[in-house]
Chains A and B, each alone.
Chain A
């Protein structure tokens, strides 16, 4: 079962920052948080991941709370092409390896 909960949908104005929240209250100390997005009928695209520190790359920033029970993905200047389903995922550690278990995701609609 997925360890994350996200709002089903969000709207954002083009050019503004998009802040996508995620709750992962049952996360274990060594489990990473990953963010992917999926545009219709394509494979998921990697955005960013982190363990406990905030992370930033050319696509986005990831803010993880100190207790690690929630995180926020920030797209600093959303464009129409950022319209997609965004998945917050906790990488689950199994005895045979790690795996990504997807939750329901958030549909982000960027509007002009």
Chain B
């Protein structure tokens, strides 16, 4: 298996633009997680899905952030409109069982200027 795949790996955008991050989990994994990592706030769990259904989005910082999982092999995290404080590395992870061993993707480094 190729592991968790994220795209793009790097994204540079201007403030106010819409940004879409993509994730393909490991096949057969029922849980998908989105995380954000910054120097100031560390690692934060934003949202997680079980069988494509969002279970808890309490970590999503603002209404500007939204996440979807239209099928078992694809998820998106969208920021609209983006702001400089959204600059971070965004990780997607998947797991076979709820909050057991998680496999992380390589991350997307987002820079909002």
Indicate whether A and B interact. no
Using CB atoms and an 8 Å cutoff, list the residues of chain B in contact with chain A: none
| Interface positions of A (Cβ within 8 A of B) | none
